[in-house]
Every structure is written in structure tokens, then in C-alpha cells.
Amino acid sequence: MISRQISQRVKVLIILLLVVACFSLTYFFHHVLGSGRVVTHFYYIPIILAALWWHRKGLIVSLILAAFLVFSSYLSRDHSLNINDYLRACLFISIASIVALLSERIQQSKQNLCESEARYRSLFDNMNLGVAIYRVKDNGNRFVIHDFNQAAQTIDQISHDQVVGKELLSVFPGAKDSGLYEAMQGVLRTGVATYQGVRHYKDQRINGWREIFVYRLPNGEVVIVYKDQTSQKRNEEKMQQLASIVESSNDAIVAMELDGSVTSWNPAAEKIYGYAAGEILGKLILHLIPPELHRQTLNALDMIAQNRRVESFESQRIRKDGSPFDVSVTMSPVFDISGQVVAASIIVHDISKRKRMEEALQSAHEHLEQQVLKRTEQLSLTNEELRTEIQHRKQVEDDLYKSNEQIKLFSYRVLHDLKSPTVTLRGLTNLLQKKYSGVLHEKGAQFCEQIIKGADQIASLVEKVNQFIATRESPLTLEEIPVKELFQINRNEFADRLKERRIDLREEETEAAIRGDRLALIRVLRNFVENAIKYGGDSLSTIQLGYHSTDDLHVLSVRDNGMGVRSENVQRIFGLFERDQPSSTIEGTGLGLAIVKEIAEQHHGTAWLESTPEVETTFYFSVAKDL
């Protein structure tokens, strides 16, 4: 506003200066030069400028100058009136009038043009249709975006500055695949507007549906007007899906007016009720409901009309043949565009089978409860019997434990009492043999030898029995023992006997360690090696100490190439006092392998053997890894 006021003041000042110049020039001609003629060409400058700037108001300047020109003629020396001055004055006014009129028309045209441009821009920017204006380059091979309205920016999610001046395919690379580029070229060639309809457009940024109209402007620019139909298309797809669900549903889906008149009837309803759509449409839904349940449905319809929620409920319906059946009913309101309830929908699910199953289950439940009661009574009796039995068994176990302790004590006493006279008998026999060897004849000496040998066997048996009892009763002392250390101990223990018999003792190389009772594991290997030496026979030449492991077990083995064990004795040889029959002439108690088996069980493992008579025998002993 301030700049406009300054501009007006400058214009007034210019006109005033020019008018003063005109006055001065006229005075100079009439009074200084004394001429009756005046050069008036300079007058046209303020006249035309005033008419251009102020239109009709500017005519005042032309009137002032015309009047001054006529009046100045009287101020000349001859005081004569010059007709040319009158003509010039009239010309001043005429030219000013023409200029003012033309300037007003030009001003009005500019104003109309500005208003038209503003209306166009307002319409362009505020319309809800996307509009894009393209300038044509390279004879229609390239289209450059010239303008892009607000709706288009919203639809395509891109700003005006990001698209203006750029080529169509750089901003919308999917234009060729969607057919838009080809349509624009066709409109450019023919000038005939084209309606493309609703088409799918997709690129890296946009994926949706557009309804497109293409036309050409008189200046050759191509305009695209389009509307985003993505939501409508999705709604149509949803409607199709809903229609498909209704048509393929196994439940009866019925639409009706708020007065109960049926307006829609799906195939499942035909199957469930037995009525074709033509037989039921337009009729009241009460036709399908037993009379005593009419009020239930009418109340639900009243609630639907008031837009109140109706909970699902169970009811009964009537088929075309008059037979009733149980159903589950779900009722919902149907709204119009304004949100008013105009109808109701009903989903009816046939629950006849479920009802029959529920009745059968209830009957079975009652029967089961009766059976449970009977069984509970029986269980109570059985529990009482079990309680009595448990008490009895506990008493037996206590008695058995006491008896076992007494037997154990008795065994120790018997072994002690047996060992003492045996030692005495051996000592007396030795003394008899030494002092009276000259008196005893050869047969008497043999009897002494047999007595001493028998006494030694009895002592060995007592020792083995003690070892067996100690093995069962003593707890394990667990520690990590390297396998090669166990092998070395046995090699050192049997070195002399092996050398005497010329037996080669071999050991498998291993860095493994076993968690177990050191003395017990040494005893196991000692027993295996001793058995091999004792029962291997003359053919024995090699004893192999081995080790391998499984996921759960350490396994020690002793293999020899002696006479072997007969197959019928393989299973029983680890029993108490069991020996292989061919070894009956060799000294032994039959308790060594029984002790090995007991040690294996204490280590959560087992003992077994594999034998091929006259070829080889392998004894195995396993120890659990999780001890």
C-alpha cells in the first residue's frame, strides 16, 4: 500500500512538472518572442500520460492545458485569437478522451483476465480431480509436466516442485504399461479426447486404480484429468468377497426389512429351510418361526431398529416340511449411506446335530458319574486293601532287613569259625609233615599234601566270600582314573607270571579316563587277566587289554587266544560258584566273575563275555559316564 501511494505521488509530481513546462513554453512564445503561434507537441506528453494513468480523471489535465492554450492567446501582443489554438485544444481533449477510454478498456480487460485466471487457478487447485498439464517435446515422444494441481499431488503423494519440469516417464514410469503414454500420443495426433475408464497403475511408488480422461488444448498441450478409484475398487472387491461368502456359506444368511419382510435368501438358507428364494422373498420371517417364539424375534427387530446390540441366542425354526430344528441366531443392523438403520440381517446356524450330541454327552456324563461313584467305592475298598497290604509288606521288609542283617552277621561268624580251624588244620598238618616225615610212608605224605591243599582251598573260598560280601556292602569311592594307569598296574602285577608262561600282554593306546572306584576297577581287570592265565590253557600266548566308549558307557575289555568258554556256559558263568566245566580240575571258587558282575552293577554298567572255543575269549566290563 505504501509503495502504491509513493507511486501515485510520483505520477502527480511528473504531471505537475510537465504542465508547468507547458505553461512556461506557452508564456515564452507569447510574451518573450511575441509570437501568436505556439509549438504544442510537448502538450501531448502530460495529456496522454494522465489519461493512461487516471483514465477519465486524467481528462482534467487535457482540459486545463486546452483552456490555458486558448486563454494564452489573449496574452499575446496582438491579442488576436488564433483558430489553430482552438483546434489544438479540441484535439487535446479528443486525444485524452480516446486514450482514457482505451486505457479503461485495457484495464478492464486486464482485470477480467486476472479474475478469469484467478477463477481458473482456484478451480484448478481446489477441484477434487487430479489434473496434470503436459507440454509436448520431440513431436510427441516426450511429455514434460507443466502444471500439477493439489488434488493430483494428494492422489500421487508427490509435491508440485517434485514434478513440474520433469518428463512423464521419469515421474510415472508405469505410464507405458498402463496404456496412458499411448493414449496421450493418440490424443496429440487426432485431437480427439479419450476416456480410458478405470485402469490399474503400478510403479515403485504407486499401486492403485485411476479413472482417466485425456484431451488436447488449443495450444497443443495435453491435459490428463483423473480420479483415484483405489478405495472404490477395494470396496468392490470387498463386496465381491462378502457376496462370495454369503453365497458359499454353510449358514443361512437372510436380509429383511425392519417389519420382518425377507429381501435376501442365500443358497444355504434354501438347503436348511427347504424353501427356494422365490417362495420366501417378500414374506414375513415369522413364517419360519414357531408361534411361541414370535415375540423373541419381534423384540430383537425392535432393538435392531433402535441400533441396539442384539446378542446371539439359540432358538427354533420350522422347515418347509413342518419339522422344527434347533438353531443359533445372530442378528445385525444394516445401515444406509447416512448411517441410519434401514434393514436387518440374520445368520442362522443349524445346531441340531450339536444339540443331539449335547444330549448324548449329557446322558453319557450322567452314566459316567454313576460309574465313577461305583468305581470310587471300589477304589476306596481297594485303597484300604492296598494300605493294609503296604503295611504288611513294610513289616515283611523290616523283618527281612533284620533277617538279612542277622544272616550277614551269621555268615561273618561262620566264615570266621570256618577259617580258624582251617588255619589250625593246615598248621598241624605242616607240623606233622615236618616232624614225622620219616615215620610217614609215601601214602601218608600224599594225604598230608591233600589236607594242606584242601585247607588252602577252604581259606581261598572264605576270602572270596568275604570279598563278595564287602563288594556288595562297601560304598564306591569315585575319582577320575586314566585307563592307561589301570593297564600299567595289571602289567606290573602279573609281570612275573606272564614272563614265566611266555605270554604277551598288549595294551591299547588311549588317553581316556574313567570316573569310578579305583580299587574296584583294578580288581575287575585283575580277575579278567587272572582267569585268562588260569584257564587259557597251553595254547594261550596273547592277552589284549582294550578300551572303547559309546554315548553313555566306558567299556574295558580283556581278550585272550586261549581255550575259550563253551557256549552253554557263557550266560551262567557270572553267577555265584559257577565255573566252566573243563576248568573243574583247576583251583578256583567260582566267585571271581560274580564279584565282577556286582562291581559292574554298582557302576551302572554290566559284564559279559564273547567266546569262540579254541580260538579266543573276550571279557567286557562297562561303566556309566554319568556317575
CATH code of the region 249-350: 3.30.450.20
Contacts 24+ apart (CB under 8 A), 22-25: 22/46, 22/65, 22/68, 23/68
Q: pLDDT digit string (tens) for 70-125?
A: 777 655 555 455 677 778 778 888 888 888 888 888 888 888 777 777 777 777 77
Q: Average of pLDDT values for 50-54?
A: 86
Of 221 and 37, which is predicted with more confidence?
221
- HEC sequence for 243-276: HHHHHHCCCEEEEEECCCEEEEECHHHHHHHCCC
Asked whether residue 51 carries a pLDDT value surpassing 90, the answer given is: no
DSSP state of 627: -
Higher pLDDT: 330 or 476? It is: 330
For the ranges 38-52, 300-314, 362-376, which has the lowest average pLDDT?
38-52
Q: Which residue has the higher pLDDT, 324 or 452?
A: 324
Indicate whether 493 pLDDT > 90. Answer: no
Residue 34 has pLDDT above 60, yes or no: no
Mean pLDDT of 9-26: 83
By CB atoms closer than 10 A (0-12, 13-18, 19+), residue 384 is exposed
Task: Tell me the average pLDDT of the chain.
Answer: 80
Categorize the per-residue pLDDT at 458 as very low, low, confident or very high, splitting at 50, 70 and 90.
Answer: low
Provide the grid cell at 278: 422365490
579 confidence band (pLDDT: 50, 70, 90)? very low
pLDDT band at 23 (very low <50, low <70, confident <90, very high): confident
What one-character-per-residue DSSP string does 320-350 give?
TTS-EEEEEEEEEEEE-TTS-EEEEEEEEEE
Q: Mind listing the pLDDT tens digit for each residue in 389-435?
A: 888 878 777 666 565 555 555 454 444 445 556 666 666 666 666 66
Q: Phi first, then psi: give them for residue 201, nearest 5 degrees.
A: -125, 135
> What does the pLDDT read at residue 542?
92
Q: Is 157 strand, coil or helix?
A: coil
Which of 589, 546, 540 is CA-nearest to residue 560?
A: 540
- Contact 188/136 with Cβ under 8 angstroms? yes
What's the confidence (pLDDT) of residue 24? 81
Mean pLDDT (whole number) for 121-144: 85
Considering only residues 461 and 475, tell me which one the structure prediction assigns the higher pLDDT.
Answer: 475
Instruction: Report, as an integer, the average pLDDT of 513-532.
Output: 88
Which of 512 and 588 is assigned the larger pLDDT? 512
Q: Which one has a higher pLDDT value, 44 or 137?
A: 137
Domain ranges of the chain: 2-123, 127-233, 249-350, 353-473, 476-624
The string of pLDDT tens digits covering residues 232-273 is: 888 877 878 777 777 778 888 888 898 889 988 989 888 889
pLDDT of the residue at 426: 62
How far apart, in Å, are the Cα atoms of 239 and each of 232, 245, 299? 10, 10, 30
Query: What pLDDT does residue 416 have?
Result: 47
Q: What pLDDT, on the 0 to 100 scale, is given for residue 73?
A: 63
Percent above pLDDT 70 for the chain = 78
- Report the pLDDT value the prediction gives residue 623, as an integer from 0 to 100: 93
Question: What is this structure's pTM?
Answer: 0.39
DSSP E strand boundaries for 106-233:
130-137, 142-148, 194-202, 207-216, 222-228
Examine domains 249-350 and 476-624 and report if their fold is the same.
no
Of the pLDDT bands very low, low, confident and very high (cuts 50, 70, 90), residue 352 is confident
Tell the burial category of 238 from Cβ atoms under 10 Å away from its Cβ (0-12, 13-18, 19+). Answer: exposed
Which of 398 and 331 is assigned the larger pLDDT? 331
Res 611: pLDDT? 81
User: Taking 60 as the threshold, does the pLDDT of residue 137 lie above it?
Assistant: yes
Multiple choice CATH, 127-233, 3.20.20.80, 3.40.47.10, 3.40.50.300, 3.30.450.20: 3.30.450.20
- Output the CA–CA distances (angstroms, integers) from residue 21 to 16, 49, 104, 242, in the order listed: 8, 15, 27, 90
Residue 545: pLDDT band (50, 70, 90) is very high
Report pLDDT for 382. 82
Contact 184, 172 (CB under 8 A): no
Q: Report the CATH architecture of 476-624.
A: 2-Layer Sandwich (3.30)
